[in-house]
Amino acid sequence: MEGNENKFKKYAPKIVIPILIVIAIGAIFVLKARQQQDINGKGGSVTDNIGGNTEEPDNNSSDFALHVEDVLDLDKLKSYGLPIMIDFGADYCPPCREMKPTIEKLNKELKEKAIIKYVDVEKLPKVTQDYPIRVIPTQVFYDKDGKPFKPADPNALGMYMYSHRETNEHLFPGS
């Protein structure tokens, strides 16, 4: 009988410790998944919020929908008298994917207070032709009057300012 007890004492840690490690890893995974769901404000798997369009349809107006599907009618958006942010990115871009949950949350929180748009530069190259996109992600900002946002100190914010060559009129802010 003592031989069996010695074997148990000898092998128990070799069995119990790996089992506890697997349980701990599983618990961490579940907690992280729940945190991500809470951050995004909805259920579903974590991978749902990384890749495709997870936006809920807006019953009021497609003008407040996050994703630009075909054409970006900037004049119509400016007519709402709200600040506008246009985010240019792509699914293959790691920083764009990293920003996506934040942009989605911002769009939800500011619905009808600001217009947040996401343009996939790969899927909608015609939309991006009117903007000075050098790298992605790039954001373009307009104030509530429909004029390009002009910060007091663009260099401190890391923003590029684009002006018309002949008139020196401020055209686009971007970051």
List residues with catalytic annotation.
93, 96
Nearest-angstrom CA–CA distance, 134 and 171: 15
Give the residue carrying structure tokens 């910060």: 151
Given a contact cutoff of 8 angstroms between Cβ atoms, the answer to whether 104 and 54 are in contact is yes
What is the Cα–Cα distance from 95 to 93, expressed in whole angstroms? 6
16, exposed or middle or buried, with CB in 10 Å at 0-12, 13-18, 19+? exposed
Helix (H) or strand (E) holding 132: none
Alpha helices (H) along 46-93: 74-78
CB 145 within 8 A of CB 121: no
d(CA 72, CA 61): 14
Helix, strand or coil, per DSSP, at residue 20: helix
